[in-house]
Structure 1
Amino acid sequence: MAKTPADDIPTRFDLNLVRAFVSIYETRSVTQAAERLNLTQPTISHALARLRVLYNDRLFSRGSAGLVPTAVAERLHEQLSVALMAIEGTLDSRASFQPLHSTRRFRIALSDIGSLFFTPPLLKRFQVEAPSIQAEFVQLNDTLLDELARGTLDLAIGNLPSLHTHTRNELLFRERYVCLLAHDHSCTDAVIDLDTFSRARHVMVTSPSSGHALIDGALAERGVQRRVVALVPQFSVLPSLVEDSDLVVVLPSRVAELFVSQRRLRMAELPVPIPDFEVRMHWHARQENASAHKWLRDEVRRSLSGL
């Protein structure tokens, strides 16, 4: 049988070296690896030096975008990241998590609209329950499953049906779409009529998590087509675009309510029914019984399910 890099691990191999290697590989930086592990940069540099001696390989070289792993490092990460996750999973399931004293970093993936709506209540709760933890919020992307599996991402939150069969997940709430209009828009009814909706000038958000495909699909089934005059990448620009204009935006009701509370805007119901959607939190099965992760899920549930 062919020998693998992991076969050369000494009997008394230090688990902290594994943690250091995996962190360097995933961050592509000694400095960021040290921050993730709450260690000093010299400590991580010393660990990397020991690893290079153990494997008789440079493991990483410097590149324009950070450290570049060698072929040996690539093969090592495939094996060690899985082993580390399994080992730490057994330790986490037995150890109690002390939120008041923890300095752990949690990474949570959100959409642009999720960042606007979810970040404030989550940070407010974390500040009370675990004031020393670090919460890192990142954008949803195409590598969510890999990041959840590697443990570099703790949770993904949003309308993410493609993840349902690949993750453990929990419903936080159901959401519906409404129209957002300027406060003095010519349409003054609580429900925008179909003719006005069809003739209106629409702004559409083009981010992958915006739901515009679901909206347009539901409208097309009823023979309705939006007159889109502007496409923008983020929800955060919508209030300033719609206020004092004749523009119309279709977006989730909770975010519309947030914008209405901040600017001279108002909501109107759609002229045709569009299916509701689910907002769920997703995590990897390996994290199911980890005490720190269970705490995080509980806090997210308490913070967001009642919004």
Structure 2
Amino acid sequence: MDLKLLSIFDEVYKTRSVSRAGENLGMPQSSISIALARLRRHFGDPLFVRTSDGMQPTPHTTSLVAPVRQALELLRAVTRQQAIFDPAKAQRSFRVCMTGITHLVLLPQLMNRLSEVAPSVRVEITHISSRTPKMLESGDADLAVGFMPELEAGFYQQKLFDQRFVCVVRKDHPRIHSRLTQGMFRREKHVVVSAAGAGNELVERELDRLGVQRNISLHLPDFLGIGALVAQTDLMITVPERVAETLLRIAEVKLFKPPFTLPGFAIKQHWHERYQQDPSNKWLRSVIADLFLER
């Protein structure tokens, strides 16, 4: 058994794609296909079957994943002291789980920085979900960035910045001019974004505690198009401050401090303890941290 075949096996299992596995390993697709053929002969099993959802594993493949990964982890442990990641030459792909906030605030800065220091590195973004902890544990995702209090045992975390909430309305709002009062907040129609990591549950919990009811007329699943929506209607939205700063740059809106004291929260990057010493993961974490240390 060529030990390189184990890495190919694991990468195809993670990506469910021959082409993406080749990209991540820096190998042509034909080499991945040849390797799969060797693996199939060795194990006497199809291992992966092509479906509309990609290359899906057979039951035998699923039973092999854990011991294969244990073997790979042992090999990495042996060679870890010599492991080097050179971003200028690297041609690998990172998968990062993000909330809507970090998508708006972090992603443009991250891509600009990567184009400078790691021009051949690729990034795939996926939404934060209930699967995120398992993805981090298995290596299907390298990092998760956002407000995720559910990530605790087995995960490292680093605080990037604190967030507070602000209220946003269109610049020429007919009733809200230079200040926002409690009465205005109660009377105006609100739009609420229910995306994971948006912090709306913190706002709702505190307003309930204060006995304040918002007149919510629109619920949205994410922040897509929110700048144009607020700029072209009389709706008010309460969002994390850095989201509001982004809206201020791209839309005709204005910001106000909420007339009620609302709790803040921290945006963090999270990774599994298995990848604490991984050179490429450490490098990506340092790039993201530096982006906020500079602000």
TM-score range, shorter chain: over 0.9
How far the C-alpha of 1:64 sits from its partner, in A, is 2.7
Letter in 2 for 1:208: A
1:42 match: 30
SS in 1 for 2:106: helix
User: CA RMSD for the aligned pairs?
Assistant: 1.6
2:66 match: 78
**Equivalent residues of 1:168, 1:283 under 8 A apart:** yes
Asked if residue 151 in structure 1 is aligned to residue 131 in structure 2, the reply is: no
Asked if residue 189 in structure 1 is aligned to residue 178 in structure 2, the reply is: yes
1:102 match: 90
**Equivalent residues of 1:93, 1:289 under 8 A apart:** no
How far the C-alpha of 1:35 sits from its partner, in A, is 1.9
Asked if residue 129 in structure 1 is aligned to residue 129 in structure 2, the reply is: no
Give the distance between the partners of 1:216 and 1:92, measured in 2 at CA: 47
How far the C-alpha of 1:112 sits from its partner, in A, is 2.0
CA distance 1:98–1:235, change in 2 (3 Å): same
Q: TM-score, normalised by structure 2?
A: 0.94
Asked if residue 294 in structure 1 is aligned to residue 295 in structure 2, the reply is: no
Letter in 2 for 1:106: F
1:162 match: 150
Q: TM-score, normalised by structure 1?
A: 0.91
1:114 match: 102
Give the distance between the partners of 1:304 and 1:107, measured in 2 at CA: 20
Alignment deviations for residues 260-297 of structure 1 (CA, whole Å, 9 cap, x no partner): 12221000111111111010000111211222222111
Give the distance between the partners of 1:52 and 1:118, measured in 2 at CA: 42
2:54 match: 66
How far the C-alpha of 1:89 sits from its partner, in A, is 5.0
Letter in 1 for 2:232: D
Q: Percent identity?
A: 33
1:178 to 161, 166, 171: 166
1:4 match: none
Aligned residues: 294
How far the C-alpha of 1:92 sits from its partner, in A, is 4.3
Give the distance between the partners of 2:111 and 2:276, measured in 1 at CA: 23
Asked if residue 223 in structure 1 is aligned to residue 211 in structure 2, the reply is: yes
2:259 to 257, 266, 271: 271
Give the distance between the partners of 2:232 and 2:45, measured in 1 at CA: 63
- Summarize the alignment of residues 11-30 of structure 1 with structure 2, pairs less than 5 Å apart: 13-30=1-18
**Equivalent residues of 2:23, 2:92 under 8 A apart:** no
Unaligned runs of 5+ residues in structure 2 are: none
How far the C-alpha of 1:62 sits from its partner, in A, is 2.6
